[in-house]
C-alpha cells in the first residue's frame, strides 16, 4: 500500500489504498482469528498515522468496507471488531457520508430485545466523532494532496491600491516521502511571475519554514520565518502583507503574521505589480496561483484574498 521499500515506520504514506480495502474485505474470512487482530491493528496504525492517510482512506470508501466487515459479527474476533470500530471512529471524525452514518447506526439494531454486541462501542464511537476535543480543525477545506491539484481564481485585470496582502488557513503534513526524493522540494503558497522572470512568491521549505520572496531582473530577495515549523498537521492562519514605503524616504516592508500574531517585520522590496499582467502568469506548483493552479504534495488550504491600499 505504501509502494516503497518496506520498513516498520508508522509514518509511511499510503500510495495505493486498494490493497487496504481488500484486506478489510478479507478480515471476516481470516483463520485463525489472531490474524484478524493482527491485520486490524496494522490497519489502525497505518491509516491513523497522518492526516494524509486518513483523507486517503475516507476518499477510498474504507468506512463502507469496515461496516461491511462488521456486519459479519459471528465471524469476527471481539478484539478485531473493537479495532475496526476504533478505525471507524478515527475516519468518521474526519468525514462520514450520510449512508455510512446510517450503516453505523444500524449496528445498534438487534433482533428481539437483546442488545447488539457492538452497541456500547458504537455509541462511544459516535460520541467521540461528535465531541470537540483535540486541536482546532477545519470542517470544510480544499484537499490539495495530489501533486496536480489546485484552485483557479479569475485573473486580476488591474491590481488595485498600493499594497498586497494574502490571507489563508493552511494545514501541512510532515511528509516522510520528501526525504527519499533527490533534491529539495517545497510547497508553494502563492506565485506571481511575469514572462521576464520578475515577480513575487511565498512557499514552505521541506522542513516547514515559511519563506517570502521577491524576484527582480538583478536579484532574488527573501525573508524567512525559521521560528515556526508549519509541517505539524495542524491548521495555521497565515497572513503576508507587502507594504510600499512612502516617498521619498519611506522603506518597503513585509509583515508576516501567523496564528493571529505578528511574527516578523523586515525590509523587502515591494513587488512590481504592474509587470505581472494577466497574460504573463506561469503555471507553477502553488497552493494559490492566479489563472491556473497546481499544488505541492500534502497540503490543504482555505484561501481568502485581500488587496488594497496599505
Tell me the average pLDDT across 235-239: 93
Cβ atoms within 10 Å of 307's Cβ, excluding its own:
14
Beta-carbon contacts of 224 under 8 Å, excluding residues fewer than 6 positions away, are 209, 210, 211, 212
From CA 76, how far away is CA 256, in angstroms rounded? 54
- Taking 80 as the threshold, does the pLDDT of residue 27 lie above it? yes
Q: What pLDDT score was predicted for residue 309? A: 34
Judge if the upstream peptide bond of residue 248 is cis by omega within 30 degrees of 0.
yes
What are the backbone dihedrals phi and psi of residue 270, each rounded to the nearest 5 degrees, phi first?
Answer: -75, 130
Long-range contacts of 127-130 (CB under 8 A, 24+ apart): 128/89, 128/93, 129/89, 129/92, 129/93, 129/96
CATH classification code of 142-308: 2.60.120
Strand 187-193: give its sheet, edge to edge. Answer: 187-193, 199-204, 210-215, 220-225
Quote the CA–CA distance of 206 and 189 in Å, as a whole number: 13
Rounded distance between C-alpha atoms, residue 192 and residue 77, angstroms:
57
Percent of the chain with pLDDT over 90: 30
Q: Does the pLDDT of residue 44 top 80, yes or no?
A: yes
User: Which carries the bigger pLDDT value, residue 84 or residue 95?
Assistant: 84
Confidence category of residue 281, pLDDT binned at 50, 70, 90: very low
Whole-angstrom Cα distance, residue 34 to residue 18? 23
H/E segment holding residue 271: none
CA 9 to chain centre: 20
Helices (H) and strands (E) in the chain, counts: 7, 10
Distances (CA, A) of 133 to 51, 122, 258: 16, 18, 22
Count the neighbouring beta carbons within 10 Å of the beta carbon of residue 213.
18
Which cell goes with 277? Answer: 499582467
Q: What is the pLDDT of residue 136?
A: 67
Q: Check pLDDT > 50 for residue 70.
A: yes
Cα distance between the two ends of the chain: 50
Other C-beta atoms lying within 10 Å of the C-beta of residue 221: 14
The percent of residues in the chain predicted with pLDDT above 70, rounded, is 73
CA count, 13 A, side-chain hemisphere, 103: 18
Predicted local distance difference test score (pLDDT) of residue 62:
93
Query: How far apart, in whole angstroms, are the C-alpha atoms of residue 153 and residue 167?
Result: 15
34 in Cβ contact with 40 (< 8 Å): no
Beta-strand runs (E) in the chain: 142-143, 163-172, 187-193, 199-204, 210-215, 220-225, 235-243, 253-258, 261-267, 299-308
Q: Which residue has the higher pLDDT, 72 or 212?
A: 212
Which of the four pLDDT bands, split at 50, 70 and 90, describes residue 304? very low
Q: Which residue has the higher pLDDT, 167 or 293?
A: 167
pLDDT for residue 41 is more than 90: yes
Query: Mean pLDDT, the chain, as a whole number?
Result: 78
* Segment 41-54 mean pLDDT: 87
**Predicted confidence (pLDDT) at residue 35 exceeds the cutoff of 70:** yes
Distance CA 161, CA 108 (A): 60
pLDDT above 70 (res 132)? no
In the DSSP assignment, the letter for residue 61 is T
DSSP line for 85-99? HHHHHHHHHH---HH
Amino acid at each position: 500500500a505504501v509502494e516503497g521499500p518496506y520498513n516498520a515506520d508508522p509514518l509511511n504514506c499510503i500510495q495505493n489504498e486498494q490493497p487496504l480495502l481488500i484486506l478489510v474485505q478479507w478480515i471476516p474470512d481470516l483463520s485463525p482469528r489472531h490474524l484478524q487482530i493482527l491485520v486490524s491493528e496494522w490497519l489502525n496504525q497505518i491509516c491513523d498515522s497522518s492526516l494524509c492517510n486518513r483523507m486517503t482512506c475516507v476518499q477510498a470508501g474504507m468506512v463502507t468496507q469496515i461496516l461491511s466487515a462488521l456486519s459479519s459479527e459471528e465471524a469476527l474476533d471481539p478484539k478485531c471488531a473493537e479495532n475496526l470500530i476504533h478505525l471507524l471512529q478515527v475516519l468518521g471524525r474526519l468525514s462520514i457520508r450520510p449512508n455510512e452514518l446510517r450503516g453505523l447506526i444500524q449496528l445498534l439494531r438487534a433482533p428481539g430485545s437483546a442488545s447488539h454486541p457492538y452497541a456500547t462501542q458504537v455509541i462511544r464511537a459516535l460520541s467521540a466523532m461528535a465531541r470537540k476535543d483535540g486541536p482546532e480543525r477545519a470542517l470544510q477545506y480544499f484537499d490539495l494532496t495530489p501533486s496536480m491539484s489546485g484552485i483557479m481564481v479569475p485573473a486580476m485585470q488591474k491590481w488595485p491600491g498600493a499594497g498586497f496582502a494574502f490571507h489563508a488557513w493552511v494545514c501541512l503534513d510532515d511528509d516522510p516521502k520528501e526525504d527519499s526524493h533527490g533534491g529539495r522540494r517545497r510547497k508553494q503558497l502563492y506565485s506571481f511571475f511575469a514572462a521576464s522572470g520578475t515577480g513575487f512568491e511565498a512557499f514552505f521549505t521541506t522542513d516547514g519554514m515559511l519563506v517570502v520572496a521577491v524576484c527582480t531582473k538583478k536579484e532574488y530577495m527573501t525573508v524567512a520565518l525559521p521560528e515556526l515549523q508549519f509541517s505539524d498537521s495542524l491548521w495555521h492562519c497565515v497572513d503576508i502583507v507587502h507594504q510600499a514605503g512612502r516617498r521619498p524616504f519611506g522603506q518597503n516592508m513585509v509583515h508576516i503574521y501567523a496564528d493571529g500574531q505578528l511574527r516578523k517585520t523586515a525590509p523587502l522590496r515591494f513587488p512590481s505589480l504592474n509587470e505581472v499582467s494577466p497574460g504573463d502568469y506561469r503555471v507553477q506548483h502553488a497552493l494559490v496561483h492566479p489563472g491556473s493552479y497546481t499544488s505541492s504534495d500534502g497540503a490543504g488550504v482555505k484561501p481568502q484574498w485581500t488587496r488594497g491600499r496599505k
